[in-house]
Structure 1
Amino acid sequence: MRFRSNMNVVAAGAASFLLALPALAQTTGTLSGQVVDASSQAPVGDAVVIAQSPALQGEQTAVTDTTGSFEITLLPSGTYTLTVQREGFQPFTQQGLQLRLDRTIKVRLPLVPEALKEQAIEIVAQRPSIAVTTTQQGGSVSKEQMNLIPYGRNARTFDAVATSIPGVQPDANGGIAINGSGGPEQNYIIDGVNVSDPAFGTLGTTLIQDFVQEVDIKTGGYQAEYGRATGGIINVVTKSGSNEFHGSVFVNWSPFEATRKQIGALGQAVSSQIKQNYNLDFGAELGGPIIKDKLWFFAGIAPQFVSRNIDRVISTQTANPAGQAVLDSAGNPALTEIARKTYTSTQTSYNLSGKLTYLLNENHSVALAAYGNPTNNTGDYVDSRGFFVSPAVGNEGAFLYNHELGSIDSSLRYSGKLFNKTMLVEATAAYHRQRDNDVPVALDGVSASAVADTPSVSIRGITNILNPLIANDPLTPDYQKSSAVVAACAIQPNGFNPCPVTNYFIGGNGFLGTRTLDRIGGVLKLSNFVELAGHHQFKYGVDASRDTFNQTKTYSGGAALRLLTSGTIQYFRAYGHSDPSRPGQAAVDPADPNRFQDAVVSNITHNTSVAFFVQDTWNVLDRVVLDIGVRGEKQLMYADSKTLDANGNPVQGAGINLTNIMPRIGLIYDFTGRGLSKVYGSYGRFYEYIPLDLADRSLSAEQQIDMRKDPNNCTNPADLRTCAIIPNAFGAGRTFSFTGGAASTPVDPNLQGQYTDEYLGGVQYQVYRDITIGVDYTHK
């Protein structure tokens, strides 16, 4: 159920000639075109063109040149009215021009001479729908579409909207996939802020659709202005205020989910089933003027709640007389359920959005925006990419702990027109902050601190669910030790195992991390328009950013252990060092008394990137467009001086230093000359922007210590850490294996970036009104 205030929408007029062009900025669009004499079709110079819109502060004007051409730039997306005035002609008004984000509408506006007031002049409407001056592929989704269509299955966020564009689908690794490129290969932008996860490259900030004005998705063929992606660009603009107060309250509720068939691991005694309880969000938004035509505001808040039931099911197999599992009709071991417990996983997000827009004068404006999505997951652990830890992997400590995540972003943007509107200036300063924290919780009478102090143990190979190590684990749920389970799962006299589990986890949570990610960025873009054998739009600029990944990581109980099939205990994951100033837990190594087992490692790594671009869009005779440009990106990835090596000194070693050059070129031909057709081809090179997880793992001299222990010789059999160390486990004189040291992983000085070469081509033809047929080809 949703309640909203009504908004006025002006119907599109008939006397216009519309073309889609590349826009001047990521957060605006452009109105351009030509004013002509309606009787002779001759261009009309010195005509005043006035643009008005509920989305626009005040009005924007332009004066036509001797060819009748005009250009009104840096306009927010919305519905526009153009009014044309010229001495000797009747005024003309064109309504209902829908301007999209990062697009240009080109209109042909006829003026009727005053001398022909009494004569009828027929104006033929032509409304092309083909973007005849760009090779860019993709599409835009407006707020009106989002209000009408329920995009998103699990959450009504803007990334779900993008999947309505051909070639775009959800990516299992987080974010979205575009034309074969995965979630980490896209560039996610909100109000000019890069909100990609600095550590993994996936989507770092989500935002509910109710606070979004428009989502623009570029799936390929985009200009040199755009980079840091080998896939596509997802560009979002949030809502702004207006000259009238407007607001809404809304509720969206998905109360249940039908049961679906779920298939677990074959032959395993423990399986899981996930079913959504409900998906609920509600909120309010308000926007309007503080000073009409001068200062606008927008504010919105919307909590979201997603609740899921996760059933953990214990089943048993039946043996035939030969001691083999009875098979079902599909040839798999037949299972009979004997116990079940339902766990609840709840995700709570608080969507926030606010914006101030100030118009200094017709040529200068600034906008301050802030938004975010602080989120908490409780119950079954869900990572930052939406993956559940299956309850089938082990006892409750393996999958029950909380997760804090979400982001807060802000941006300050300036747009200006200089030198009699012949130069455009766009500048943005932005900040992105993201958290990603694992939080242990109390389980079955075991305190959160005790859970965090319990090592995770993986029992390798196949065992029975009644294995004493499993049954005696304090974090084994009671229903798993019930009389029904004990009776059904006992090893049979012929040796048959009716309740097998493989690589089963007992003990604590395992890996635990506290992560803070920051990005500071700035962008400066300039544009000039030149008449030289046609119309040229020269655009050039620079942008820079510095990402920081600050992670403190440990393993519950100080180590992740494995009980190997050989019967020994492996310290599979345990951080170590050789710094006497922070001894941690001593690892008694006769060969080196200064080697310690440490429970915590803290790393700080950085990614510094500077990019430039130059591009020219050359329109020749309104039939041929040549789009050519080049982009360069410099990326430097390194460890911070506060990141210590195994000896307690600042880590040494080369960082990753990449210089990437990306040419882009496109050619378009309109064989009708009226915007009703397009034959196009393009080539572009796109380099990957490497996220910081690589630096955290490989450039920080991450140190780990490994040893073997005897499970039959322990001072406390319930705590495998107290078991005796097996000497010479790694060869004569090598009781310990110590990896990591004073330097990071070596970096090849000739290392080059990973890139994708993209070739596009196609032909499109508008056969009738909004009906277009075409064939588009993409090769990467």
Structure 2
Amino acid sequence: MNRRSAWLGGLVVLICVAPLLADGPQTGTIDGRVLDAQGAPLPGVTVTLTGPQNTRTVITDADGVYRFALLLAGRFTVRAELEGLGSAELATDLDPGQRRGVDLTLVSAAEEEITVTGEAPLISKYETALAATIPAEITDNVAFGTRAYSAAVRQLPSVVNRSDADSRPSVNGGISTEVGIYVEGVDTSMHRRGGEMRLLIPSTALTETKLESTGFGAEYGRATSGIINSTVKTGTHEFHGEALYIGQNPKWRAPDALELERPDDQINSYETSIGGPLARNRAWFFVSYGRMSDNRIDRLSDGSIVNLSRQSDPLIAKVNFQPRDNQQIAITAIDAPSDAIGLSGNPGDKYAIMNFPLNGRVQTMNWSLGLGASNFLEFKVANREEFVGRNAAEQHPIDPNASPDDPLGNNFRYRDLATGLRHNGPAVRLAEGFNDFPRDQASVSLTSFRGRHEWKFGVDAQAIEFGNLTSIITEFRGRNFDPNLPGGYVTPVNKRVFDPSNVITQSSDFLAVFAQDRFEVGDNWVWTLGIRGDQQTIDNDIGERVNEYTEWVPRVSGVYDVKADGSILLRGTLGRYYHAIGMGIVLQEFSRQNNGENIYEQFAWNRATQRYDRFQRRVEPTFDQAIQDVDPYYKDEISFGADFQVSEKWVVKSRLIASEADNIFHATLQYDDAGRVVRDLRNWSDARREYRGLQLEANRLFRNNWTLRTNYTLSSTKGNINSLNDNFNLNEGLGGVEVGTGLTNATSSPYWFGRLLEDREHLANVIGMKRFVFGRHDLVLGGFLHYASGAPWASHVSTQVRHPVSNQPITTSTFREPAGSHRLPDTLTVDLSLLYSIAMAGNVRAKIGFDLANATDSQEPIAINTQTGVPTPRVASYQRPREFRLKVGFSF
């Protein structure tokens, strides 16, 4: 692709001349001071850092300061030693991109040297955001709804999933499209809309997944509700590996809410990995390969049972190099193809369901370089690929004796205007075809320590495209589908014959810059002041510039260390966050060419000929309408809280959060001055969402290998819009009169504002793990409890409004009662796991165990038809039934 090649060439030049910082820093820093018993700094002390890969040594400066930078995530031991003063040693965990402060005190002894050991504080005064992590210890030993890493995210504070969809997490009252999803510091968000954890990889291949939900720093943008960054495991100085067979079967699930017959089909999944050194103290590797399935069946409206399991075959490879102590190079490649049948588009029979192959890839290289003891560069280049196919899952044979307008004579779609179901052909609106989402990224970084200041400057550039092929060809419309009737309906209406389309491509470029200063004031204060600028340009399918904006936003964070020892931290954040404009709106609103659905001829049903052969009209956009420019919407947020290190192994965090998203845009159908129906895309001044929340988190490591992690969120999410797409019915058809009621402006009533679908008044998570050791035997028990208030809903029905003069109709929807008037039942899920292992030969251990997802088999409704007030008769409308998964394998 010429445009992308030229863009990447320009980025090579950019990297060579612009030493700045970008999204998703992956290397961290451990620094601090070495003091004597009276608190005076000690120069000339030897400080040794021991980590998963190697050991490094530095000498403290005149102020007793030491620093280790360009560190990969992991567990480290810091040891300070000076002749005559003994030694001190502290252990600490470092997250990707984190700065961890570790101060050590050496105590003089009259007769012998003293060694002081312990754990560094588990909370950090240098953290800007409210952050929560999922360490590898949890994902390796605790069961979740599926084995994919997205399922584990549910345990994090304030995370909500619509309809049990783990791949679309929402955070702090936002919607799933507003979350930035990163893997290895690479933005993998689905840029048609935003958000979504689309890479299907096993959680056991990750060293950590981290959520920064509130107050994230100026280095992140394009997202308003939070940042989720997952880091692949790395090799260590010892060879290690694991092979784990995961046995599944639909029969091993409990009967579902619809009591569907469960086939006895064995699903053979597995997860394997191996890692270790390539060159001692200089190079390491990690490779993971697996097969995963979410083991799902469901039922269509005609009673057909469909296997909806998505199978993924992820391959992950990572190599780390450290040519010198002041250099760190990481190269990661992820290839995660998957395939599944889906029920998108409201299919009414098996010929309407579609197959959705998803090919997801990430390739990235990260190069970190130290320039002396105080300046550090980080370069990153990456490519993200996502290709989603849309294929008919099954087609019936065409009867050569049938009319081409009858269902038996074609494989096209029949859209039932009475039921909303789609039959006989692809149910998805765009029918067969594909979506292609390539994304090229590059960034470069400078972090500079100057006295008590930590300066960061950054730039991040991305080039994204959205290629689409739509092949509807023909669509038949009528009421009450019957494949054996002429025209396919009791009441045939019309057919639309669409002009064939070629692949059309839209593109967008991002450029972001930021500057940030984190500085200490006295012994108690740490302030972080940042500013970020985001620029986005969007070109449509003919290369026409349809949108361009530049926005600058402030980010402020303050931390007060009450005792000046890191044990009690008071925090506050303030900032504005802009959401990037997704590429889906470009396809639908700004396309200038035939896109497969915007040019068609319509034919009415002819009773005399029993054919759709009465020509009505040809719909063909003039492509001369003015481009309707929109601005990105934003969220303003403020938070206050406190972190407590109750003991060496016990941390409690709290945060009060208030935010409001404003200036939200969406497209509607409206009337012009002549009463004609026109498309209207704009920012609506009264479209908004507001969030108020209290988050509490308590994590403790007990003696005898006990781990307990808990969090609770009390919140309120209100607003009048939370659509995942850019179409919405709020304020649609203004000036129109509702058919049947005579109401004017039925879509702008006060009923629209209320509790939104993401609102969960109470959220609670408890994760526990206990390891029993009996000589050569290990037994690990894990448990995860998730409680959530039921999702709010209200009567929201389809309706029609007509212009009082032209009588032109607009089909839309409206609320018949205040939004959020009702709630679905609360949900409670308990996942259990057991893994027994025994030492065999050398360091090889044999393993056997099981996962029991939703052990209590709670199957409360989680989705409802807001027109009828009852759940849709599908398994997906209820909590997933209990599943037993067998685990057998070995590790070394």
Whether the TM-score (by the shorter chain) exceeds 0.5 is: yes
Gaps of 5+ in 2: 1-20, 481-489, 660-892
- 1:204 touches 1:406 (CA, 8 Å); kept in 2? no
Residues 1:625 and 1:744: Cα distance change in structure 2 (over 3 Å) = farther
- Tell me the secondary structure at the aligned position of residue 355 of structure 1: strand
CA distance in 2, matches of 1:210, 1:184: 26
Identify the residue that residue 216 of structure 1 maps to in structure 2. Answer: 210
Which residue identity is paired with 2:632? G
| CA distance in structure 1 between the partners assigned to 2:287 and 2:117 by the alignment | 44
> What is the match of residue 65 of structure 2?
69
Query: Is the CA contact (8 Å cut-off) linking 1:688 and 1:753 kept in structure 2?
Result: yes
In structure 2, the partner of 1:324 is none
Q: 1:683-722 residue pairs with structure 2 within 5 A? A: 683-701=574-592, 702=595, 703-714=598-609, 717=610
- Corresponding residue to 2:523 among 622, 635, 657: 622
**CA drift at 1:161:** 2.1
TM-score normalized with structure 1 length? 0.73
Please say which of residues 121-130 and 503-512 is displaced more in the overlay.
121-130
**Conservation of the 8 A alpha-carbon contact between 2:22 and 2:458:** no
The counterpart of 1:291, out of the listed 279, 293, 301, is 279
Determine if contact 1:417/1:425 at 8 Å carries over to the other structure: yes
Tell me, what secondary structure is at the counterpart of 2:157? coil
- Is 1:457 paired with 2:420? no
Determine the structure 2 residue equivalent to 1:607: 508
8 Å CA contact 1:23–1:102 kept in 2: the answer is: no
Q: Partners of 1:244 and 1:744 in 2: how far apart?
A: 65
Deviation digits for residues 659-690 of structure 1, max 9, x if unmatched?
A: 12111011221222222222222111100012
Worse overlay, 94-103 or 173-182: 94-103
Pairs within 5 Å for 1:134-283: 134-151=127-144, 153=145, 155-172=146-163, 174-201=167-194, 202-255=196-249, 256-262=252-258, 281-283=269-271
8 Å CA contact 2:443–2:461 kept in 1: the answer is yes
Q: Partner residue of 2:558?
A: 667
Q: Is the 8 A contact 2:494 2:605 kept in 1?
A: no
1:434-473 alpha-carbon deviations (Å, 9 max, x no partner): 11001224445459x9999622112322xxxxxxxxxxxx
Aligned to 2:390: 438
Q: Which amino acid aligns with 1:180?
A: G
Q: Residues 138 and 348 from structure 1, CA distance in 2 versus in 1: closer, same or farther, beyond 3 angstroms?
A: same
C-alpha separation between the residues in 2 aligned to 1:405 and 1:122? 56
The AA in structure 1 aligned to 2:314 is N
Partner of residue 373 from structure 2, selected from 418, 421, 425:
421
Task: Give the alignment partner of residue 50 of structure 1, picking from 27, 44, 48.
Answer: 48
Matching residue of 2:359:
406
- Alpha carbons 1:257, 1:276 under 8 Å: kept: no
Letter in 2 for 1:131: S
Stretch deviating more after TM superposition (764-773 or 293-302) = 764-773
Of 346, 369, 374, the residue aligned with 2:309 is 346
Amino acid at match of 1:167: S
State the Cα deviation string for residues 726-759 of structure 1 (Å, max 9, x = none): 4xxxxxxxx41424233476123xx322000011
User: Once the 2 structures are TM-superposed, how far is the Cα of residue 302 of structure 1 from its aligned partner?
Assistant: 0.1
Identify the match of residue 549 of structure 1 among 466, 487, 491: 466
Indicate whether 1:656 and 2:547 are aligned.
Answer: yes
CA-to-partner distance for each residue in 1:514-566, whole Å, 9 max, x for gaps? 122100000111111111xxx110001101000011111111xx122211599
425, 429, 432: which one aligns with 1:508: 425
Q: Does 1:528 align with 2:448?
A: yes
Shift, 1:125, TM fit: 6.3
- Structure 2 equivalent of residue 97 of structure 1: 92
- Which of residues 677, 700, 724 in structure 1 aligns to 2:613? 724
CA distance in 1, matches of 2:299, 2:86: 70
- Matched AA of 1:221: G
Question: How many Å separate the matches in 2 of 1:522 and 1:552?
Answer: 28
Alpha-carbon separation, structure 2, partners of 1:659 and 1:159? 32
Distance in 2, matches of 1:746 and 1:516, equals 24
| Selected match of 2:569 from 672, 675, 678 | 678
Distance 1:290 1:673, change over 3 A: closer
What code does the residue aligned with 2:600 have?
I
Question: Paired residue for 1:756, among 609, 632, 635?
Answer: 635
Is residue 281–residue 303 contact of structure 1 (8 Å, CA) maintained in 2? yes
Query: Does 1:562 pair with 2:451?
Result: no
Where does 1:22-41 land on structure 2 (aligned, <5 Å)?
A: 26-38=25-37, 40-41=38-39
**Cα distance in structure 2, aligned partners of 1:224 and 1:524:** 15
Q: Work out whether 1:376 is the aligned partner of 2:339.
A: yes
Structure 1, 134-143 or 272-281: larger mean CA deviation:
272-281
TM-score, normalised with respect to structure 2: 0.64
Asked if the contact 1:192–1:411 (Cα under 8 Å) also holds between the matched residues in 2, the reply is: no
Q: What is the CA distance between 1:767 and its match in structure 2?
A: 4.3
Report the 3-state secondary structure (helix = DSSP H, G, I; strand = E; otherwise coil) of the residue aligned with 2:513.
strand
- Identify which range, 200-209 or 215-224, moves more after superposition: 200-209
Instruction: Work out the number of aligned pairs and report it.
Output: 612
Secondary structure in 1 matching 2:351 = helix
RMSD after superposition:
3.1
Q: Tell me how far apart the structure 1 counterparts of residues 265 and 574 of structure 2 sit (CA, whole Å).
A: 48
Task: Find the counterpart in structure 1 of residue 619 from structure 2.
Answer: 738
Q: Which string of whole-angstrom CA distances, capped at 9 and with x for unpartnered residues, describes residues 321-378 of structure 1? A: xxxxxxxxxxxxxxxxxxx54333332210110011111211112111101210111x
Following superposition, the deviation at residue 253 of structure 1 comes to: 3.6
Distance 1:138 1:81, change over 3 A: closer
SS in structure 2 of the partner of residue 655 of structure 1: strand
TM-superposition CA deviations, 1:580-634 (whole Å, max 9, x none): xxxxxxxxxxxxxxxxxx1334210001000001001111223111110001110
In the alignment, the residues of structure 2 paired with residue 567 and residue 209 of structure 1 have an alpha-carbon distance, to the nearest angstrom, of 52
What is the aligned-residue identity percentage?
A: 21
Preserved CA contact (<8 Å) 1:186 1:231: yes
Q: Give the CA deviation at 1:119.
A: 5.1
CA distance in 2 between partners of 1:198 and 1:767 (Å)? 42
Q: Within 1, Cα distance between the matches of 2:256 and 2:208? A: 34
Partner of 1:600: helix, strand, or coil?
coil
CA contact (8 A) 2:23 2:219 kept: no
Please give the alpha-carbon distance, in whole angstroms, between the structure 2 residues aligned to 1:664 and 1:234.
19
Residue 35 of structure 1: how far off its partner (Å)? 0.8
For 1:691 and 1:258, how far apart are their aligned partners in 2? 40
Residue in 2 that maps onto 1:490: none
Distance 1:292 1:774, change over 3 A: closer
Shift of the alpha carbon at 1:278? 7.2
Give per-residue Cα distances to partners, 1:665-716, cap 9 Å, x unaligned: 11221222222222222111100012211111122124322423124144xx
The Cα of 1:126 is off from its aligned counterpart by 7.8
Q: Which moved more, 1:622-631 or 1:168-177?
A: 168-177
Aligned position for 2:329:
366
Distance 1:24 1:654 in 2: 26
When residues 360 and 744 of structure 1 are mapped into structure 2, their CA distance, relative to the original with a 3 A threshold, is: farther
Report the more deviating stretch, 509-518 or 406-415.
509-518
Rounded Cα–Cα distance in structure 1 between residues aligned with 2:327 and 2:177: 36
CA contact (8 A) 2:86 2:114 kept: no
1:276 to 1:234, Cα distance in 2 relative to 1, 3 A: farther
Aligned amino acid, residue 165 of structure 1 = L
